Chains A and B, each alone.
Chain A
């Protein structure tokens, strides 16, 4: 890759985009003006219902002290305040009849403010009432402390922190979420428009052909495009960032009226924030470029990007629902950065969360870049435009017989990431849904990949018939693998008893209450689609390049990793080697599918009828030696007949 060529291309892209008026508005004016505009609008709206002469009426269910009355009188120059004393039940009735908008219930030391959150006037009034109570609390505290000869001013700061936080979680948590959402949306929309500009419009206008006739490598071309999208979107992010803090700085008065407490900005937060902007731009650029690259024209590009945009918007709204940061969330792209934005603004930062989020985002971006460069090397994707070819073509590359090793690894990785992602999203929903999602993930990823490389399904996945004559040997192989696998399982549990906890948790999820649903979702679907991935895709590609033994071991290894649990993984590894061997010998994907199904069915049935095999009694050494003997015999029979 030649740097000066990439730079020249970059210059061309940047000049062409920045000089466009519409892009200029989206990339520079929108990020700069959005926050001041938002705050302006909000303050106008808020001031319309926080008028000075408005009567603030609220009910209380306790005797009001003279002190409190006096204190409230202090506000009379600002607001007219009317306090109604009544019983709790009457207050509730009045509240429902909308006689009063706010009432305060005293419960020992707590004063609970009730208000109608959907009514903006009472919402605003409530914040005033809350402020009065907060102020009163402070004065009350200082008086009490003075009685004890403690200078309140001196110790104020020591619990001031707690005091501030309470108000942030009550009132202010919405604002950082909105800010983080706006940020993510601005970065994504800039990426959106630039990605369309550099890929789809280039195709549509026919300039791509000129570019390809220049002495440029495709890698240089895609690098320059990636950098363009990345630079412009991160620039928009920075502009938003600058405008945000200018707004916070200059409009702090207005903001405090809106319930936003002063946001402290430390150097650390600044750095984390800047890196987050860079990373999210990096990820978005890769994602959007690899989507727009397929589109023939602008309309198609927009159609394919809108679902993505909606998805991102929803994800960036997650912090609003009060989701707390956790290590699992740090691995999920977009969600992690969106949470990070939020936490930097509300100044609660978990450093390990930051690091894991950053690392995972970088890894996802690298993955996307690999996918992107692969895509950009395919002529039918590059030339899928009407401006370039008047007949609707697909490149007639001969059908691929199997995936390359790199592609199959990529597929496995994508499936792993996606199933992890889905398992997290659906963790609280029905377990049947959770189990059904994984096979379908495999199906979708494998199908898309096969379509991209024009795979010959039948010969790659060996959807052939098989001979029943040899079937008894496969049964022998499977049975011995099953016994050895269970022995290893038992052995591991004895060796690492702490792992059993994890495993039994998993077992609890597995436990079946609906037999037919379990048979379909736990036994049948995984059997079919896991075989498709691990035997059909991975084993076949490795077998072609590195030979049978490495292919068997590696596909079984990935099969083990896929189970995301050490004990289950070890068992899956052993069964995986047997299944791969059976696949190799039978030359039909249906055979390992049958055994995989049987294997899953056994565990479903054992669980359903809660049969507990007394494992130690059965698995004595003699039994193991027998099964190893059986294994050797069956392998011998297999090899001999060849």
Chain B
């Protein structure tokens, strides 16, 4: 279970000469139960990325705490990170390394023993259909192949939690389908997924629960069906506008 407890993240925005203080994440609390897909929705600059970075331990919150299975990042960051995979839409990989080498290096860092690791790599490569390009340099792969490699490296240590930050942004239909299939499959295997996107339909289809974020604050947190009920709309897009629309000037 992931528990986000009164988390704040303060930044100082440089607007010309003046420095303006603002909260990218402002008093956010929620719980993610195991085995659920959790959607984080909001427009650009709403604080989704910052929030997900804090949850996955890449950034430290200014105030508040994130608990993963009752452990916190201050004391046991390495143990938590071993249970988490983070994938962001603009993640690129090292160009001169082959997928197989990358998996081996990441597996080593995750502390998987050598014999188990080789088996695991073969398994993952087979699962994601990476046999043809497993020994090519990543720099020479197509976008879809890179995305599969990226999923493979999230996969390698068999984590309990996946945190995906706009993982489908900017991908074509085929490539983003790879990711959506991956999310659905992992859910079947009982994994927990926190997932941010600005494709509303996508969220509506696969999420068990969604939260809407605006100006760093949670505007609404419920199941997709309930959200539609509350806002009296037919689809997520309209729900989004009725919750957030009109409030934003930026």
Contacts and interface: CB of A to CB of B under 8 A. Distances in A.
Nearest to A394: B12
A390 B45 contact: yes
Given A207-B94, A215-B78, A9 B44 contact: no
A392 interface: yes
A390 B88 contact: no
Interface string B81-104: 110111010111111110001100
Contact of A210 (B49, B57, B59, B86): B86
Interface stretch (A15-23, A93-101, A476-484, A598-606): A15-23
B129 to A, nearest CB: 22
Contacts of A389: 49
Interface in A6-26: 7-9, 11-12, 15-17, 19-20
B110 interface: yes
A217 B137 contact: no
28 contacts: A4-B108, A8-B105, A8-B108, A8-B109, A9-B105, A11-B105, A12-B105, A16-B97, A17-B96, A19-B97, A207-B92, A207-B93, A209-B86, A210-B91, A212-B57, A212-B58, A213-B84, A213-B86, A215-B79, A215-B80, A215-B110, A379-B59, A389-B49, A392-B13, A394-B11, A394-B12, A395-B11, A396-B21
Nearest to A214: B109
Given A12-B105, A16-B97, A206-B90, A215 B81 contact: yes
Contacts of B163: 213
A215 B82 contact: yes
Interface in A192-210: 205-207, 209-210
Interface string A386-400: 010111111111000
A498 B81 CA distance: 64
Interface residues on B, range: 35 or more
B58 A390 contact: no
A383 interface: yes
Contacts of A393: 11-14
Contact of A216 (B53, B109, B137): B109
A5 interface: yes
Interface of A: 4-5, 7-9, 11-12, 15-17, 19-20, 205-207, 209-210, 212-217, 379, 383, 387, 389-397
Given A215-B110, A216-B109, A394-B12, 20 more contacts: A9-B105, A16-B94, A206-B88, A206-B90, A206-B92, A207-B91, A207-B94, A210-B88, A210-B91, A213-B57, A213-B84, A214-B106, A214-B109, A215-B111, A216-B78, A379-B59, A379-B60, A392-B14, A394-B14, A396-B12
* Interface-central residue, A5, A17, A209, A389, by most chain B CB under 10 Å: A209
B10 interface: yes
A9 B110 CA distance: 11
Given A9-B109, A393-B11, A209 B91 contact: yes
B58 A209 contact: yes
B11 A396 contact: yes
A214 B81 contact: yes
A396 B77 CA distance: 22
Contacts of A216: 78, 81, 109
Contacts of B105: 8-9, 11-12
B62 interface: yes
B132 interface: no
B109 A397 contact: no
Given A8-B108, A9-B109, A11-B105, A213 B92 contact: no
A2 to B, nearest CB: 8
Contacts of A4: 108, 111
Contact of A397 (B44, B62, B91): B62
B91 A19 contact: no
